[in-house]
Amino acid sequence: MNYIKTTEKVTVENYPYGFRLRTTLYDYIEFDKKKGYRHCTQTINPKNGVLNKPKKSTYYQVLVRYYDENNHIKSMCFEPTYKTESLNKMVEFVGQNFELFTKEEITYLYSLAVLSSRVTVQSMVTYSGSKFEDLKPLIEDFIKIMVKGISEPENNYFNVFLDVEAIEATKEPDYQPFKVTSYEILK
């Protein structure tokens, strides 16, 4: 795929505006280190030449744009805090496309990887009955490398991954965190 740098503002000429009019469209990504990324577009009103108010998507933890086979701009997002596989996909993507991101964004992405791995551990302990002692050796090297990346954002350390199978193997069989174990009558 032909990815677009996160800082690049793309200008699209002859963009449809209503049924008959054509205009210029500006396509860009907004980044906020506390919220993430969002895709934005802004057009020029062809009737008076004034810039319209930008249209902004919701924030995603990671978002990049690319050109599809028809040379249209599309976006792709990653939400790594929900599943270990998603975290690994995000880490792999960033590692392969490191040059798309700014230094500030790389620091954010390293921090996001650390946060996501911690969320994985907490959710495995809470909802799967895994023991922290079993999970710790599976994630500590990953976290150490990502923390090193936070202090050295110019270096690409996105070449380590969490072992999804080993993490899944720590689940307690038939664990039911929401099972009612007693029926007390409240007075």
The closest alpha carbon to 121, from 133, 110, 112, belongs to: 133
- Give the H/E segment covering residue 7: none
The closest alpha carbon to 123, from 163, 83, 166, 169, belongs to: 83
- Enumerate residues 6+ apart whose C-beta is below 8 A from 129: 171, 172, 175, 177
- Do residues 109 and 78 make contact, with C-beta atoms less than 8 angstroms apart? no
pLDDT at 174: 87
Question: Which tokens is 53 given?
Answer: 């108010």
pTM, rounded to two decimals: 0.89
pLDDT at 83: 83
Query: How many angstroms separate the CA atoms of 16 and 20, rounded?
Result: 7
| 3-class state of residue 170 by DSSP | coil
**Rg of the chain (C-alpha set):** 22
- Give the H/E segment covering residue 84: helix 84-96
- Do residues 175 and 123 make contact, with C-beta atoms less than 8 angstroms apart? no
Mode of pairing for the β-strands spanning 21-32 and 10-17:
antiparallel
pLDDT at 182: 66
Mode of pairing for the β-strands spanning 2-4 and 62-67:
antiparallel
The closest alpha carbon to 88, from 52, 139, 148, 155, belongs to: 139
| 3-class state of residue 16 by DSSP | strand
Q: What is the mean pLDDT of each run of 10 residues along the chain (187 residues)?
A: 94 93 96 96 95 96 94 92 88 96 97 94 92 94 96 95 93 84 63
